[in-house]
Amino acid sequence: LVTREADAGDVQDVVVMLHDFSFRSPEEILAELGGANAHGGHGGHGMGQQMQGMPGMAMPGMDHSGHGMGGMGAGPGAGMGAAMQGGGMQGGGMMVHANDVAYDAFLANRRTLADPEVVQVEKGGRVRLRIINGGTATAFFITVPGLKATCIAVDGTPCAPLVADAFPLAQGQRIDLLVEIPAGGGAFPVLAQVEASPRRTGLVLATAGAAIARLGETADKPQGLLDLAFEGRLSALNPLAARRADQVFPIMLGEEPDYRWTINGRIHGEDVPFTVQQGERVEMTFLNPTGMSHPMHLHGHHFQVVGIGGRRFAGALRDTVMVPPHTPVTIAFDAGQKGEWFLHCHHLYHMATGMMAVVKVA
């Protein structure tokens, strides 16, 4: 559901939905990863149903640099599926990787770059790209070669305009980019390249009569792993009011053998809810000693990113934040509508095998 802002102005909206696609069933993929449906095991839900139905705490004065990660590594062979594709070594010799699912294709608006969607745009016009990462297990870098792209919103919330050459987009995240089409017209690709891979997808913006060159589905070189350099530059246009936290929670993300992914040492169904009172300011710090990044998503709320590593800052308002290995990420939010709200990893195989908990607003 895309809601157009009342003050969006004279711009052409172009929605780009990214997907990772496999001919194999979720059950087959999970078996390849070496896991069982731990999350579904508590409620009798099959993996297919789970995948269909489901589209970080700095205490005041806390110095994140004091958090040691020793002794918190993954269990032997945990999460090391046969399809692991990209990665590198980090401190302590731990293998950090991405893309543990081998996908058959990557899609932008249900099409590959072999036959991309071509969106007609006006010479001299402005285009707002509303890009959604609907991938199950894949993060992307977004580029718009030939055009200057300005980020104006993340996860549906306005941010201070920010120009970059490439924009990271984790699973479940959204980004709005504003571009201006030259008066002379032309054809301009909007590309989404897979993290730690040369594979890519995308579409083309083209003015009437423009020649459209064929685009390869493989870039000249792979992208690296997503990090928080871009996140650390973002700031909300309407940040949370300055206020001391009423409650603070450490959120330890864990990896166990047999492809079990945990929050504070528990899988969903064994977890204890994080109970808060309506209206309280809540801070959570995500700590990730595992070998993979985790895009953490909170239902029912937007939160502000207020800390990365040891640095406190007033970052973007969003509902999904990437938590890379060994970099604490702190978020703050005001507890909203009463009820039980899921907090989970948006790598949906991590979620389905345990990495989900509940924030209970009482």
CATH number of the domain enclosing 293: 2.60.40.420
Please tell me what DSSP assigns to residue 246.
S
Q: What is the pLDDT of residue 85?
A: 52
HSE, CB side, 13 Å, CA atoms: give it for residue 291: 28
pLDDT score, position 169: 98
pTM comes to 0.86
What the block records as the tokens of 33 is 């990863």
Torsion of CA 351, 226, 26, 116, to 10 degrees: 140
Q: What is the DSSP secondary structure assignment for residue 341, as one 8-state letter?
A: E
- pLDDT score of 94: 65
**Residue 268 pLDDT:** 97
The pair of three-digit structure tokens given for residue 30, joined into one six-digit string? 């999970």
Answer whether 60's CB lies under 8 Å from 244's CB: yes
What's the pLDDT at 281? 98
Nearest to 17 by CA among 212, 203, 154: 203
Residue 279's beta-bridge partner residues? none
In a domain, 186, yes or no: no
- Our CA dihedral for 82, 84, 88, 93, rounded to 10 degrees, sits at -40
What is the pLDDT, as a whole number, of residue 8? 87
Do the strands 167-169 and 174-180 form a parallel or antiparallel pair, or are they unpaired? unpaired
Contacts of residue 92, Cβ cutoff 8 Å, sequence gap at least 6: 69, 70, 73
Task: Give 103's contacts (C-beta < 8 A, 6+ positions apart).
Answer: 20, 21, 22, 137, 138
Q: Does some domain include residue 350?
A: yes
CA separation, residue 90 to residues 64, 96, 112, 321, 327 (Å): 18, 6, 33, 21, 12
Residue 266 DSSP symbol: B
- Tell me, what's the pLDDT at 2? 82
The CA distances from residue 85 to 12, 96, 145, in Å, are 37, 11, 26
Other Cβ atoms less than 10 A from the Cβ of 360: the count is 16
DSSP conformational letter for 38: T
Residue 261 lies in a domain: yes
Q: What does the radius of gyration of the chain's CA atoms come to, in whole angstroms?
A: 20
Q: What is the pLDDT of residue 83?
A: 37
- Nearest-5° Cα angle at 162, 322 to 327: 25
Could you tell me if residue 343 is inside a domain?
A: yes
DSSP conformation letters of 77-136: TTT--TT--EEEE-GGG-EEEE--S--SEEEETTB-TTS--EEE--TT-EEEEEEEE--S
pLDDT, residue 91, reads 45
165 falls within a domain: no
**Antiparallel, parallel or unpaired: β 126-133 and 12-21:** parallel
Q: Please indicate, yes or no, if residue 62 is contained in any of the structural domains.
A: yes
Q: Terminus-to-terminus CA distance in the chain, angstroms?
A: 28
User: Does the residue 258 lie in any domain?
Assistant: yes
Per-chain mean pLDDT for the chain: 87
Residue segments in the chain with a per-residue pLDDT below the cut of 50: 39-84, 89, 91-92
Range of the domain at 349: 49-70+233-361
Q: Which two tokens stand for residue 260?
A: 């079990």
Domain count, the chain: 1
Q: Flag whether 12 is in a domain.
A: no
- Diameter of the chain by CA atoms? 61
